[in-house]
Amino acid sequence: MTLEQHLSVLVKSAVKALYNIDAEDSQIQLQKTRPEFEGHITLVVFPFVKLARKAPQVVGDDIGNWLLVNGEKLIAKFNAVQGFLNLVIDDAFWVKQLEAIDADDNYGQLQRPTTNDQRPLMMVEYSSPNTNKPLHLGHVRNNLLGYSIAKIQEANGWKVVKTNIVNDRGIHICKSMLAWLKFGNGETPESSGKKGDHLIGDYYVRFDKEYKKQIAELMAKGMDEETAKREAPLMLEAQDMLRKWEANDPEVRALWAKMNSWVYAGFDETYRRMGVSFDKIYYESETYLEGKSEVEKGLASGAFYRREDGSVWADLTKDGLDEKLLLRSDGTSVYMTQDIGTAKLRFQDYPIDKMVYVVGNEQEYHFKVLSILLDRLGFPFGKELVHFSYGMVELPNGKMKSREGTVVDADDLMDKMVEDAKEIYLQKNDQSPMTNDQCDQVARMVGLGALKYFILKVDPRKNMLFNPAESIDFNGNTGPFIQYTYARIQSVLRKAEARDLEISIFRDLEEKELALIQRLCEYPSIVRTAGDEFSPAVICNYAYALACDFNSFYHDLSILNEPDASKRALRLLLAKNVAKVLRSSMSLLGIEMPDRM
């Protein structure tokens, strides 16, 4: 039972005994005591003043004195100030809390039911790459957010299915295919030594380069820019290739399958390095026909309409939006068509209670429309979809443009983070006792931990600037700072074990010991809040605060060299559980914790 739950029961008993008031849960208002007053937790007494027919100060004193006598020794002392009852919790309670934390291997996470079927099911979609280019910095934020949200929701008692929709068809895919046919000379990942996704991305950039040349040539002959863009031979060929793909042309389909297989192998390697995974992957090539079928049904029912050129549209003006294209005049589908089909298949495949799309805020309009269209098509889940909208991420030198080949590649970024972490580590530890392999492993954990933490600590709904140098600092609000704190604790515990020092408890607490226990006690509510708000940043802020509290404690109070055995034992127990909670909280962010640094 938490402190708040325990106090709530006692306060209800107090007002019943004192004033014959049957208090409701909503009347028990508890908050952290303001720093200018003595106390750990404060009860707002105003809800009982009118019913008790006494002044706020009197009611506060009455309840405080009752708790001192009847509160199971929970309250050490109190002070009532202007309608607020500030309560000092006895050290014995905090010691018991520490004991309970130590005994709970899954501390902070809701108890799991005996079978998975008892848990509500949440599907979280993230990543959603295109098979015409490698993953970039924007995908990094998407993947890290999606994976962390899934971990946090699991900690809150959900059964989570992590899913990905791969955009493996469309005009952008045909652009890469056509460029490879025209300019590739049979190049493969094996012959080039490139990852498959990087190789295909190069040809997407090559298409754009050649396409711009053709536009310039047509404009030089007197054609206006918009007409030149439409009539450029490369664009016409790409559009023809898309029509052949949808018509199941065997040569186009064989080329598409071969080039996509190269990309998938590259994606898998990037996901593995990033530490993210999926339980189910959907492919647009397998869902768009389902979407087209639903659009045709909507057309037949009058939910949609066809224009003179043959294209199919949804009129959303009555919903305060505009008209939305669903099928082009040549019968080819658009992203919205695919998303309709994917949503239908997902709810057929799983008993989903909540569907969450982790997609950037530039797609807010898209998901508003998707929700309306699914509802209009008669799907009961249409209005219940959740778009987890997050802000864009940029580097100090500006935005990314994939068509121009100026994207910040995810693989290159991870390589640089790990290299920088190793360089910094070697500068600080020129006499490192670790082997090269151990050093590489620590550098990997620290480099990727720096990347993940820096991205996840920002409110996900805000745009952010990713600064690699700032992220890998071993001081301040960074992943390496928290990892170093954890490694420091592991070093202390190894030395204690080598000296066979007892880890147990005693009763009298010093201020910084008490502050650390209180911080540990906050962890379950932090996990709940992060789940309610879909915000890994809540976990980041807590982990940083806990690491700061421990380092302050470590600086001011001796652990291994404390001569009082009971104090030494308590401090070792505190250190052990701080490490446990740091490891738990960082695992919800997908961050590994090195035992040595």
The reply to whether 191 and 326 lie within a common domain is no
- Does some domain include residue 108? no
Amino acid residing at 580: K
Q: Is residue 401 scored above 80 in pLDDT?
A: no
pLDDT band at 394 (very low <50, low <70, confident <90, very high): confident
Dist CA 303 CA 364 (whole Å):
22
Assess contact for 41 and 89: CB atoms under 8 A. Answer: yes
Q: Which of 89, 112, 140 is the last residue of a domain?
A: 89
- Higher-confidence residue of 21 and 435: namely 21
23, 141: one domain: no
Element housing 583 (H / E):
helix 565-587
Q: Is residue 222 part of a domain?
A: yes
What is the pLDDT averaged over residues 359-387?
93
Within a domain: 483: yes
Indicate whether 337 and 229 sit together in one domain: no
CATH value at residue 32:
3.30.1360.70
Both 289 and 198 in one domain: the answer is: no
Least confident of 14-23, 60-69, 107-116, 259-268: 107-116
Phi/psi of residue 357, nearest 5 degrees: -100, 120
Q: Do 367 and 304 belong to one domain?
A: yes
Number of structural domains, the chain? 4
Does one domain contain both 337 and 232?
no
Tell me, yes or no, whether 95 lies in a domain.
no
* Residues contacting residue 78 through CB under 8 Å, at least 6 positions apart: 39, 64, 67, 68, 85, 86, 87, 88
79 shares a domain with 157: no
Give the pLDDT band of residue 500 (cuts 50, 70, 90): confident
Are 317 and 464 within one domain? Answer: no
Residue 117 domain-assigned (yes or no): no
Supply the DSSP symbol for 188: -
**Three-state SS sequence of 45-112:** CHHHHHHHCCCHHHHHHHHHHHHHHHCCCCEEEEEEECCEEEEEECHHHHHHHHHHHHHCCCCCCCCC
- Check residue 234 and give its pLDDT: 97
Predicted local distance difference test score (pLDDT) of residue 1: 73
CB 88 within 8 A of CB 78: yes
580 plus 442 within the same structural domain: yes
Determine contact, residues 88/39, Cβ cutoff 8 Å.
Answer: yes
505 and 577 fall within a common domain:
yes
What is the DSSP pairing of strand 393-394 with strand 464-465?
parallel
174, containing H or E segment: helix 171-183
Of the residues 225, 253, 277, which one is the last residue of a structural domain? Answer: 277
| 180-222 confidence digits (pLDDT tens) | 999 999 999 999 999 999 999 999 999 999 999 999 999 999 9
Take residue 165 and report the two structure tokens written for it.
């929709």
Query: The CATH number of the domain where 387 resides is what?
Result: 3.40.50.620
pLDDT-based confidence at residue 502 (cuts at 50, 70, 90) = low
Does residue 428 fall inside a structural domain? Answer: yes
Location of structure tokens 């909670």:
581
Average pLDDT over residues 566-595: 95
Q: Are residues 271 and 297 in the same domain?
A: no
Worst-scoring range by mean pLDDT, 411-425, 450-464, 491-505? Answer: 491-505
Kindly tell me if the per-residue pLDDT of 405 is higher than 90: no
Residue 500 lies in a domain: yes
Note the pLDDT tens digit of each residue in 215-243: 999 999 999 999 999 999 999 999 999 98
pLDDT of residue 403: 41
How many beta carbons lie within 10 A of that of residue 75, not counting itself? 25
- H-helix or E-strand containing 124? strand 121-125
Determine the average pLDDT of the residues in 528-542.
97
Question: Does the structure show a pLDDT above 50 at 171?
Answer: yes
CATH of the domain at 472: 1.10.730.10
User: Looking at residue 505, what is its pLDDT?
Assistant: 57
Query: What would the pLDDT profile of 450-497 be if each residue is shown by its tens digit?
Result: 999 999 999 999 999 888 888 988 889 999 999 999 999 999 999 998
pTM: 0.90
Tokens (6 digits) for 395:
């580097």
Task: Please say whether the beta carbons of 512 and 578 come within 8 A.
Answer: no
Each residue's pLDDT tens digit, 121-167: 999 999 999 999 999 999 999 999 999 999 999 999 999 999 999 99
Q: Is 98 within the bounds of a domain?
A: no
Asked whether 388 and 359 are in contact (CB, 8 A), the reply is: yes
| Domain that includes residue 376, residue range | 122-167+279-408
Q: Which of 444, 514, 547 has the alpha carbon at shortest distance from 436?
A: 444
Query: Looking at the predicted structure, is the pLDDT value of residue 67 above 60?
Result: yes
Residues in the chain: 597
* pLDDT mean over 318-338: 90
392 close to 422: Cβ distance less than 8 angstroms: no
Boundary-marking domain end, from 40, 66, 89:
89
Q: Say whether both 163 and 174 belong to one domain.
A: no
- Name the 3-class secondary structure at 483: helix
